Amino acid sequence: MKTRWSCGERTPPGKPGAKGEGGADVILAIETSCDETAAALIDGEGRLRANVVSSQAELHARFGGVVPEVASRRHLELIVPVISEALDEAGVTFDQLDSVAVTQGPGLIGALLVGLSAAKAIAWSRGLPLIPVDHLLGHVSALYLDPVRLEPPFLCLLTSGGHTLLLDVQEHTSFRLLGTTLDDAAGEAFDKGARLLGLGYPGGAALDRLAQGGDASAYSFPIARLDGLDFSFSGLKTALLYEVRGLEHGELERRRADLAASYQHAIVRALVERTLQAAEKIGARQIAVAGGVAANSELREAFSSAALAPIELCTDNAAMIASAARYLKPIQPPGYLDLDAYASRQLA
């Protein structure tokens, strides 16, 4: 058994008699951990009232990856309009909020601090409680929203741009780590592979689309089979690099779809194999998949009988932060004013 960590106490959602439409608590959630500026509103029954995501992907594409300083500055420009749009969409004013939730980490510190500062300012100025949320718990909590409405216990494959985790989820507010990647995350492998194939950044979705027209058996890419339940994707990326380098001049264009399909197939096989091993090991009766890579079409097909996070809630968004916040204990003012962001969290 690896580390177990908890993100706060469980609190019953949807307390009777609370404020908001239908007698339900209204939470404004903010997410700025990487290059998406996002705000969402949720009520005490877990109904999403607004979900606004402004992606900076185009801004960072010319650099081939997220530039932290550029991301922070863009969050500063977008945070107020994005929150205003979410409030408008929900038909809610600041006066009707019951609490404010925000991603505290892991992520880019400068980016996180924009969201955290905005959340503190809104909460403090209204005398509202604040709910700090772990971004990874957020990804898992996307599964608690419509139409999935999953309930623990379940085994979760959390596969995103920065993480590839197998989690034993027994309750809404915590999880137990069973396995992780020893090098690249699966999303990173997609992005690096896409870059080698000339698909730009972030390339996961583009590689997915390209792979649909390719032959997955054209190339045989390696799958790392380590002891235990951990993953490794760096060898796969190197194998693709050698295949691309070995092509005759002008051949890449003709072979690109087959390379994408074969490369994607290797990533998906690795994810599926390990997840099924983990499920057997802990006797899990329910498998769930969340995080940006959970949007991948081949992975969704391979896991068709699992609980899959809704596609629009796979990559970063504030709806998943709002969902997690429903189960966490709010911090009353002024207890949150010295709260800091964290870049990473020791999981194992």
Interface residues with ligand ATP (CB under 6 A) are 34, 107, 135, 139, 160-163, 187, 190-191, 202-205, 208, 291-293, 295-296, 315-316
Q: How far is the CB of 145 from Mg ion (least distance, A)?
A: 16
Q: 97 or 137, CB closer to Mg ion?
A: 137
Q: 26 or 157, CB closer to ligand ATP?
A: 157
Q: Which does 28 bind (CB under 5 to 8 A by kind): ligand ATP, Mg ion, none?
A: none
Which residue's Cβ lies closest to ligand ATP? 292
Whole-number Å distance between alpha carbons of 337 and 130: 9
Q: How far is the CB of 339 from ligand ATP (least distance, A)?
A: 19
- How distant, in Å, are the alpha carbons of 93, 196, 272, 274, 317 from that of 159? 35, 21, 11, 12, 15
Chain contacts with Mg ion (rule: CB under 5 A): 160, 316
Is residue 28 within 8 A of residue 83, CB to CB? The reply is yes
Q: How far is the CB of 195 from ligand ATP (least distance, A)?
A: 10
Burial 97-135 (b: 16+ CB within 10 A, else e): bbbbbbbbbbbbbbbbbbbbbbbbebbeeeebbbbbbbb
Q: Which does 20 bind (CB under 5 to 8 A by kind): ligand ATP, Mg ion, none?
A: none
Q: Which does 211 bind (CB under 5 to 8 A by kind): Mg ion, ligand ATP, none?
A: none
Whole-number Å distance between alpha carbons of 114 and 295: 27
Q: Which does 214 bind (CB under 5 to 8 A by kind): ligand ATP, Mg ion, none?
A: none
Q: 93 or 304, CB closer to ligand ATP?
A: 304
Q: 156 or 295, CB closer to ligand ATP?
A: 295
List phi, psi (to 5°) of 198: 75, 35
Q: 26 or 166, CB closer to ligand ATP?
A: 166
Contact residues for 152 (Cβ-Cβ < 8 A; gap 6+): 169, 170, 171, 172
Read off the tokens for 269.
Answer: 């096989």
Is residue 33 within 8 A of residue 318, CB to CB? The reply is no
